[in-house]
Amino acid sequence: MNKRFRFVHFLFILFLSISFLSGCSFRDIDNRAFVLAIAVDDSGDTKKPYKVTIKVVIPSGNIKQEGVKYAFFSEKGVSISEALALIRATIDKDIDFSHTKIIIVSKSLLDRNLGNVTDFFHRRRDIQLVSWIGIAEKRAKDILKMEPKSQSSVTTPLFNFFSRTAVQSPYITPMYLFDFRRQQIETGIDPVLPIIKIDKKEKRCVIHRALVIGDGKYVELTPQQTMIYNILRGNIERFNAEIKEKNGKFKYGVFIDSTSIYYKINRENSKQPIINYKIRHQGILEESSKYTESNLLKEYGKETSKIAKKMILELLTYFQKQNVDPLGFGLRYKATNLHTGDTYKEWESLYPQAKFTLDINVNIISTGKME
């Protein structure tokens, strides 16, 4: 009796769990419109400033026969939620945000406080906090509508750019929605968003620049700066670097496959903090303009580190001059100093004086398949 009762009870709890599975909340899958991406534009209308476009995938019974159908809906509104509510009245299905992966905000909206633009996405519970956010160079709507040449049937192309499972490029700066929020509202670190451009002629997306969103100002990064930022921030470990001769001619290229980066803020001098970077790269030669010699590998490494050092220092002082802090030095300062006064204010006055030192070592271990 007792044993049987326990078994029944076990089943009971199993059923309890089933009753709470979310399922479709009483709505079938063919009555739902799954939103893949949302684009927010400036409508140019002062009364209804937002123009929201959504990309909806229509569920179909047989993908092989019917293919995947997308539909686009856009509407103007005072707020994003109003625009979406208006869109809701134009679709014969229920809008479902639970599969939304990409949020694109137009660059012209940056004049407004971007925190207000993204507030809706943070607040709504069914938009994943692990969706990606990006900036559109011109119109966000066009990016959604573009179908690149390399598009495969089911996925959104931008999804593959940002999730590291497909594309791994040092130029792309993926930014999760929650990561954006915490970097934006916390002091001591500034978020960096990727700028998405479209190449209409070639039908492709170009994502190789980034935008630092500082305190009330925006600093655009060149592709090279974006790459160095991504390396320093630890977003990417594997990348290529080109070494040129003095006259600008290509000399050789290295491929770095493992990276380790540390930095420390040295406060021995209370007026001028020193930020010590320690960078270790390991890689191989990838391309060269002439024959290479394996006994000179150390020389190549030294040369590469010298050039890398110069580029990194340039970027760090550039950030400092612009008074933006995308690498989170202020946060590190707060994290290493006991909170006795307003440590962030201290840092704000210290940062313009800070000095950077770099200890960089590129270890090239092979010349590749040939010498």
Partner 1 sequence: MKRYVFYLIIVNMLWYSISAGHKVLLDLREQGSLLSIVLSPLFGFMFLIGWIHFFQTIPGKDLPDQLLKYFPKWLTRTILGIISIMWFFAGLISLISFVFTLKRFLTPETPAIFITIIFLTFITFGILLRTKSILYTIEIVLLITFPFLILLILKALTSSEFELDFVKEAVMHINHFPSFSAIANSFYVYLGVSNLIIFNNQFQQHDFTFKWKDYLIAVLLCLGTLFVSFFIPIGLLGYENIDTIPYPMMTASDTLRMPLGIIERVLYIALTVSIFTTFLSILVHWHVVVQIAKKLIMTKKNIHQPINWLLGLIIGTFWIISIYLINVINEYQLITFSKLFNNMLPFFFFTMILLFQYLKRRAR
| 62 near partner 1, judged by CB under 8 A | no
Confirm or reject binding of residue 6 to partner 1 (CB under 8 A): yes
Q: Which of 114, 342, 139, 313 is nearest to 217 (CA)?
A: 114
Q: How far apart are alpha carbons 212 and 226 in whole angstroms?
A: 10
Q: Which of 82, 119, 137, 186 binds partner 1 (CB under 8 A)?
A: 186
Minimum Å gap between C-beta 111 and partner 1 is 24
Q: Select from 12, 47, 152, 154 the one that contacts partner 1 (CB under 8 A).
A: 12
In whole angstroms, give the CA distance from residue 163 to residue 53. 22
Residue 12 CB, shortest distance to partner 1, in Å, is 7
Rounded least distance, CB 76 to partner 1, Å:
26
Name the nearest CA neighbour of 293 among 255, 252, 339, 325.
252
Alpha helix positions (H), 70-128:
80-88, 114-123
Q: Which is nearer to partner 1, 152 or 340 (CB)?
A: 340
196 φ, ψ (degrees, to nearest 5):
-105, 125
How many Å apart are CA 132 and CA 98, to the nearest integer? Answer: 13
- State yes or no: residue 340 binds partner 1 (CB under 8 A): yes
Question: Segment contacting partner 1 (CB under 8 A): 12-20, 43-51, 72-80, 259-267?
Answer: 12-20
Here the tokens at position 248 are 């600008």
Cα separation, 17 vs 11, in Å, equals 10
Exposure string of 134-150, with b = 16+ CB inside 10 Å and e = fewer, is bbbbebbbbbbebeeee
Evaluate whether 202 touches 167 at the Cβ level (below 8 Å): no
Among 4, 200, 249, 339, binds partner 1 (CB under 8 A): 339
* Residue 182 beta carbon to partner 1: minimum distance, rounded to whole angstroms: 4
Q: Does 179 bind partner 1 (CB under 8 A)?
A: yes
Window 129 to 148, contacts with partner 1 (CB under 8 A): 129-130
Nearest distance, CB of residue 16 and partner 1, angstroms: 5
φ, ψ of residue 328 in degrees (nearest 5): 80, 35
Binding status of residue 25 toward partner 1 by CB under 8 A: yes
- Shortest distance (Å) from residue 284 CB to partner 1: 25
- Judged by the rule CB under 8 A, the positions of this chain that interact with partner 1 are 5-6, 9-10, 12-13, 16-17, 19-20, 22, 25-26, 125-126, 128-130, 163, 165, 176, 178-179, 181-183, 185-187, 328, 331-332, 334-340, 343
